[in-house]
Amino acid sequence: MAASKLAAFAVLATLAACGGTPKVEEPPPAVPGYEAVVDGGFEIPAVDPALLKDGYQRTQVVYTGDEEPGTVVVDPFARKLYLVGEYGMATRYGIAVGRQGLSFRGTGKIGRKEEWPSWTPTANMVRTRPDLYLEYAGGRSGGLDNPLGARAMYLYRGGRDTMFRIHGTMDPPSIGHATSAGCIRLFNQDAIDLFNQIEVGAQVKVRTLEESIAAEGPYMDNAFGRAVPDTSENQAQKLKDEEAIAKKAAEDPEFAARLAAAQEAERRAMLQAAAAGG
């Protein structure tokens, strides 16, 4: 599970301290653009700087694709999203990709945009999966506990909703991962940034695997479930990290217990995301 793998890394680092008692330290300063922010009456927490490594921080990059400025390009395999700009540049965002995000290919347009979106399951969803959807049959209002996060942008094709969404998240550690539910997630700060830069009608392209490899090169998941370039160095690092996690879990009951708790928390988060369709 994606978030539990990332939690394993954090727990491993903490428990490696001398004496087994972690030092209480001040949290690191927020990265500019990812500070805590009050929006729509909700306080969005700052993003942990550790989650912005490996190219997952919003940044301006050279872009060599042939898409027109203003186009949103989604790469579900490299787990990147680009907003194409002028003069061969683009804004790159890190994303998480769920099942629905892997099911769409080709092009569409942003048909609508919502701030702090609400969500209501269809009658058929409630009927077929009451274990997931009955609780939300009356609708789920927007907020920090809504898996769609602070913003949602809805992809349409031929004037019809494709059920493909680009949206925020209630689970920042999931960014960079493939998840069991949802479409395309961004950090809430990034979802707001993208929302403010595009209009209804903006073109969206979702890359195929072949297009992703041609543009980005091959990608792989590291030991913590995050997409990184598929290089010999990253493959070797993955083996080392997997061995370290397994060894720590076998030797340290506290680490094993925290890992199990992280896995259970991720399971609950996945159920919530499935329930909200995001």
**Is the distance from CB of 182 to CB of 96 less than 8 angstroms?**
yes
* 92/73 Cα distance (integer angstroms): 9
CA 153 to centroid of chain Cα atoms: 15
What's the whole-model pTM score? Answer: 0.83
Instruction: Read off the amino acid at residue 203.
Output: Q
CA torsion sign for 179, 181, 186, 189 is: negative
Q: Which of 58, 167, 248, 258 is catalytic?
A: 167
Q: What is the mean predicted confidence (pLDDT) over 180-187?
A: 81
Q: Which of 74, 183, 194, 245 is catalytic?
A: 183
* 32/259 Cα distance (integer angstroms): 31
Q: What is the mean predicted confidence (pLDDT) over 13-28?
A: 50
Q: What is the mean predicted confidence (pLDDT) over 224-246?
A: 94
pLDDT on residue 23? 54
- The upper half-sphere exposure of residue 11, i.e. CA atoms within 13 Å in the direction of its Cβ, equals 24
Average pLDDT, the chain: 85
Select the more confidently predicted residue: 216 or 266.
216
Q: Confidence band (pLDDT; 50, 70, 90) for 15?
A: very low
CB atoms closer than 10 angstroms to residue 6:
26
Name the residue among 260, 223, 264 with its Cα closest to residue 244. 223
* 87/111 Cα distance (integer angstroms): 27
Reply yes or no on whether the pLDDT at 143 is more than 60.
Answer: yes
2-6+33-232+243-276: in CATH 3.60.10.10: no
184-197 pLDDT tens trace: 999 999 999 999 99
Q: Confidence band (pLDDT; 50, 70, 90) for 4?
A: very low
Tell me what percent of the residues of the chain surpass a pLDDT of 90.
Answer: 61
Structure tokens of 216? 């980005």
Is 18 considered catalytic here? no
Is 167 considered catalytic here? yes
